[in-house]
Chains A and B, each alone.
Chain A
Amino acid sequence: MGSAFSAVYVRDLRLALRRRVEALLPLVFFVVAISLFPLGVGPEPQTLRQIAAGVVWVSALLASMLSVTSLYAGDHADGSLEQMMLSGQPGLVIASAKAAAHWTVTGAPLVLAAPLIGLLLDMSTAGLLTLVVSLLLGTPILSLLGGMGAALTLGLRSAGVLLILLILPLSIPALIFGAGAVGAVDSGLATSGHFSLLGALLILTALTAPLATSFALRIALE
């Protein structure tokens, strides 16, 4: 089981390394989307500071959802997904490995880029730190939920938009606690409650989403 996980995980990372520009696209989207907000809302530092955490979080959410569409699509198109599901390895392990690979390729760069972006929006040091921790806990949730959406919409004509419609309502709790943590630290409150709830959400999602994803993959491949 462990070897199946690492095999799928390493394979996905290797594939991403072969197509480096493609793998970096979500990060580029993230930065471009965020830089639109000051242009739209106005450059006042006070306003920007107030909306910074929410803007970063929403952009991370959209970047994850846009990139996760292709998580299973390529493997589905060339038949390797079917082979994986037929290999006798639990679908749960494959789904977890895929989600983990997606997070490593798209989620982790977002977490690393977030402090720089936060500086553009005039965030405080404490706020930046909280933002990084909240994204560190929250982006894996997005990858896990996104993987489920990608499996449900596998091979459909309008898979991209459909996936966003399906998964965004489910990711609202992560958004609330993630962006809320930064809001709490800015108003001088403790963030431990937010982090605990985000952690609980992460554990719950990690336990249930891969199972749902493997069911969805079986439904899609039947």
Chain B
Amino acid sequence: MNRSVRWFTFAAPSRFYWLVGVLNPWFWTAAVALTIAGMYVGFFVAPTDATQGESYRIIFIHVPAAWMSMIIYLAMAFWAAVGWMFNARMASVLARALAPTGAMFTFLALWTGAFWGKPTWGTWWVWDARLTSELILLFLYLGYIALVASIDDMVRGDKAGALLAIVGAVNVPIIYFSVRWWNTLHQGATISMTAAPKMAHTMLTAMMLMTLAFWAYSFAVVFTRAQAMALERDHDAEWVRQLALGRKDSS
């Protein structure tokens, strides 16, 4: 038996489809279980914050969502680049499947941030460097989604999207630092978000649980979407035909 790891085995859509079928129930289960655990610890176990009261509890969704929004952009750019360089179809499919989830988390981070800002800062929105760069990240996601959606030719869409994602990933640090520079020029920092308060252990636990839950959810939903995309792309392939026939027989 060949002992060396065959990295590209699951680059074939049929094997990828099978692998996701095996793994995804676990990811969905983990996502639900971790969310319930994280919510329970976050809402019932974690103590009330001394200065912010109960409103701080949105942190358990806000911070993991913000983390995911950034990680998913990098993952998207990575898979898009792999798909472009090696002509690996499944990598391009993964990049496309990641984009809506990343955009959703970016939006969620902004939305929960607004809900958190209203009781603590007294305003829905400040043009703080972090908020502004998160908003620009949302624009980058929307640009990617719009570009790949408006190119009818699948291969061209994959490649053009990859180029845009790479350019975006290179630009993200430049944009972040220029926004920080701009913010410090305009006004002194009225609210410092960089100085993280010391956290109780239970708060940290809840946040970690929610982060893991978001990871599991991302895997599950992205894989499900990629599965559907693989079926759509290979709609005239033999393995899809077999799959469709098998489904019909068993039902």
Using C-beta atoms within 8 Å of the partner chain, give the interface range for chain A: 20 to 34
- Would you call A129 an interface residue if the criterion is a C-beta within 8 Å of the partner chain's C-beta atoms? no
Interface-central residue, A165, A168, A169, A177, by most chain B CB under 10 Å: A169
- Would you call B26 an interface residue if the criterion is a C-beta within 8 Å of the partner chain's C-beta atoms? no
Residues of chain A with a CB closer than 8 A to B151's CB: 156
B139 near A176 with CB under 8 A, answer no
**What 0/1 readout, one digit per residue, does chain B (176-220) give for beta carbons within 8 Å of chain A?**
001101100110000000000000000000000000000000000
Using C-beta atoms within 8 Å of the partner chain, give the interface range for chain B: 20 to 34
Minimum Cβ distance to chain B for residue A222 (Å): 7
**What 0/1 readout, one digit per residue, does chain A (171-186) give for beta carbons within 8 Å of chain B?**
0110011001001100
A170 near B159 with CB under 8 A, answer no
Report the stretch among B36-44, B71-79, B166-174 that lies at the interface: B166-174
Residues of chain B with a CB closer than 8 A to A165's CB: 139, 142-143, 146
A173 near B139 with CB under 8 A, answer no
**What 0/1 readout, one digit per residue, does chain A (136-167) give for beta carbons within 8 Å of chain B?**
00000000000010001100111000100110
Which of A156, A169, A212, A216 interacts with B143 by CB under 8 Å? A169
Minimum Cβ distance to chain B for residue A178 (Å): 11
Which of A156, A158, A168, A176 interacts with B181 by CB under 8 Å? A176
- Closest A residue to B144 by beta carbon equals A166
Minimum Cβ distance to chain A for residue B85 (Å): 12
- Would you call B108 an interface residue if the criterion is a C-beta within 8 Å of the partner chain's C-beta atoms? no
Known: A152-B147, A184-B185. A222 touches B178 (CB 8 A): no
Residues of chain B with a CB closer than 8 A to A190's CB: none
- Closest B residue to A166 by beta carbon equals B143
- Would you call B104 an interface residue if the criterion is a C-beta within 8 Å of the partner chain's C-beta atoms? no
Q: Per DSSP, are chain B's interface residues mostly helix, strand or loop, or mixed? A: helix
A220 near B171 with CB under 8 A, answer no
Residues of chain B with a CB closer than 8 A to A156's CB: 150-151
CA A201 – CA B181 in complex, angstroms?
A: 14
A152 near B139 with CB under 8 A, answer no
- Would you call A29 an interface residue if the criterion is a C-beta within 8 Å of the partner chain's C-beta atoms? no
- Would you call B140 an interface residue if the criterion is a C-beta within 8 Å of the partner chain's C-beta atoms? yes
A216 near B160 with CB under 8 A, answer yes
Known: A165-B139, A216-B160. A177 touches B167 (CB 8 A): no
CA A184 – CA B139 in complex, angstroms?
A: 28
CA A81 – CA B55 in complex, angstroms?
A: 58
- Would you call B156 an interface residue if the criterion is a C-beta within 8 Å of the partner chain's C-beta atoms? yes
Which of A158, A184, A215 interacts with B163 by CB under 8 Å? A215
- Closest B residue to A159 by beta carbon equals B150
Residues of chain B with a CB closer than 8 A to A183's CB: 185-186
- Closest A residue to B132 by beta carbon equals A172
Residues of chain A with a CB closer than 8 A to B150's CB: 153, 156-158, 162
Residues of chain A with a CB closer than 8 A to B156's CB: 219-220, 222
Interface-central residue, A148, A152, A216, A222, by most chain B CB under 10 Å: A152
Minimum Cβ distance to chain A for residue B166 (Å): 8
Measuring CB to CB, which residues of chain A are less than 8 angstroms from any residue of chain B? Answer: 148, 152-153, 156-158, 162, 165-166, 168-170, 172-173, 176-177, 180, 183-184, 197, 201, 208, 212, 215-216, 219-220, 222
Taking A170-B167, A219-B160, A220-B160 as given, write out 15 further A-B residue pairs in contact, using a Cβ cutoff of 8 Å, ordered by the A residue number.
A152-B164, A156-B150, A162-B143, A162-B146, A162-B150, A166-B146, A169-B143, A172-B136, A177-B178, A184-B185, A197-B178, A208-B170, A212-B163, A219-B163, A220-B156
Measuring CB to CB, which residues of chain B are less than 8 angstroms from any residue of chain A? Answer: 136, 139-140, 142-143, 146-147, 150-151, 155-156, 159-160, 163-164, 167-168, 170-171, 174-175, 178-179, 181-182, 185-186
22 A/B residue pairs, CB under 8 Å, sorted by A: A152-B147, A158-B150, A162-B143, A165-B139, A165-B142, A165-B146, A166-B146, A166-B147, A169-B140, A169-B171, A170-B168, A173-B171, A173-B174, A173-B175, A176-B181, A180-B181, A183-B186, A184-B185, A219-B160, A219-B163, A222-B155, A222-B156
